[in-house]
């Protein structure tokens, strides 16, 4: 069994879909406070739909791999018991970047780990650089627990219906190899080191998103698709990538970076995915510090990155 902490739309459209395609594994999902998704899943016999929304058509499938759901704030002891259970081999997390400090959900995770008598693998699926190492350090490096790093990617706008999730067709999960039981997870890239993949996504995809938000919002654009459809902004982003981001990316195993960029821009152009610039722009100071400032520091005389930083008001 897998216990997942953070029962949001991204998990249900990403890790849960990969686990659905494996044999013999189920998920116990844990929400923090809100009962909306938990109650909806219980009332619908644990079934929900994921719609892969391409530029011109949809593909819909039903997911039923989540077979139990808990609300941590209401039943913390039950959450600890599930984490401590010898039937639980993996704990995954999507608790947002701001959740990586002791308190709330991580305290329950720590209690569950302390109560275990068998090894465990804990996999952070949040957009935190070296997420496994960060989580291990926050929890005090407990013995008998593996913390592989991961890189996850799929654009999943906030759903209006808890039982229907719309997501882009693209999905990627890169996971460091680890000992211990795990699903076969068809499509997951098992690698020795996720660091090159993390840097690729952080600077190219996330950095481009930040640029589109900083420059697109003042022009009246509201979504990524609207912004990248603006010829001036697309030209800027292409220059930013070619001149100031790609030169800072080392080789990525089994990856053609030029192909990755073209696939990424095609994803951005999908007009049927409402990826809002306002959401991307939130927390711009921290995001720019991770996505763009380190790249600028590696260049002799960056011109475009400073323009993005200035446009973001920083």
Nearest C-alpha neighbor of 178 from the set 261, 256, 92, 51: 92
For helices 207-216 and 284-291, the axis angle rounded to 10 degrees is 140
* Dist. CA 276–CA 289, nearest whole Å: 21
Q: Which two tokens stand for residue 96?
A: 């947002």
Does the CA dihedral 70-73-79-81 come out positive or negative? negative
How buried is residue 143: exposed, middle or buried, by Cβ count under 10 Å (0-12/13-18/19+)?
exposed
Going by pLDDT thresholds of 50, 70 and 90, the confidence category of residue 102 is confident
Going by pLDDT thresholds of 50, 70 and 90, the confidence category of residue 104 is confident
pTM of the model: 0.94
Nearest C-alpha neighbor of 99 from the set 131, 67, 70: 131
Q: Which two tokens stand for residue 51?
A: 């719609």
Domains identified in the chain and CATH numbers: 2-191 (3.40.50.720), 195-311 (1.10.1040.10)
Q: Looking at residues 40-69, what average pLDDT do you find? A: 97
Write down the mean pLDDT value for the chain: 96
Place of tokens 């693998």: 121
Nearest C-alpha neighbor of 157 from the set 223, 216, 201: 223
Asked if residue 99 has pLDDT above 80, the reply is: no
- For the stretch 212-252, pLDDT in tens is 999 999 999 999 999 999 999 999 999 999 999 999 999 99
Q: Which two tokens stand for residue 260?
A: 């990755």
* Dist. CA 290–CA 128, nearest whole Å: 9
């Amino acid at each position: 069994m897998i216990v997942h902490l953070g029962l949001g739309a991204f998990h249900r459209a990403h890790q849960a879909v990969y686990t659905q395609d494996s044999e013999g594994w189920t998920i116990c999902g844990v929400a923090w406070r809100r009962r909306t998704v938990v109650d909806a899943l219980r009332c619908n016999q644990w079934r929900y739909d994921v719609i892969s929304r391409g530029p011109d058509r949809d593909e819909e499938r039903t997911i039923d791999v989540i077979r139990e759901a808990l609300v941590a704030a209401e039943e913390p002891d039950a959450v600890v018991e599930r984490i401590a259970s010898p039937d639980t081999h993996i704990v995954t997390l999507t608790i947002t970047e701001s959740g990586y400090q002791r308190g709330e959900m991580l305290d329950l995770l720590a209690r569950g780990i302390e109560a275990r008598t068998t090894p465990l693998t804990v996999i952070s699926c949040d957009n935190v650089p070296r997420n496994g190492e960060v989580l291990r350090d926050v929890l005090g490096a407990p013995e008998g627990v593996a913390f592989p790093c991961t890189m996850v990617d799929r654009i999943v706008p906030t759903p209006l219906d808890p039982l229907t999730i719309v997501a882009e067709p693209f999905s990627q999960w890169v996971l460091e190899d680890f000992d211990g039981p795990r699903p076969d997870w068809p499509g997951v890239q098992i690698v020795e080191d996720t660091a090159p993949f993390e840097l690729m996504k952080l600077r190219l995809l996330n950095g481009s998103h930040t640029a589109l938000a900083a420059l697109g919002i003042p022009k009246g654009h509201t979504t990524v698709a609207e912004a990248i459809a603006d010829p001036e902004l697309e030209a800027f982003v292409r220059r930013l990538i070619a001149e100031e981001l790609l030169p800072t990316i080392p080789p990525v195993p089994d990856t053609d970076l030029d192909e990755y960029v073209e696939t990424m821009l095609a994803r951005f152009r999908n007009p049927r995915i409402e990826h809002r610039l306002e959401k991307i722009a939130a927390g711009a100071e921290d995001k720019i510090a991770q996505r763009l400032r380190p790249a600028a520091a590696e260049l002799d005389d960056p011109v475009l990155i400073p323009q993005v930083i200035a446009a973001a008001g920083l």
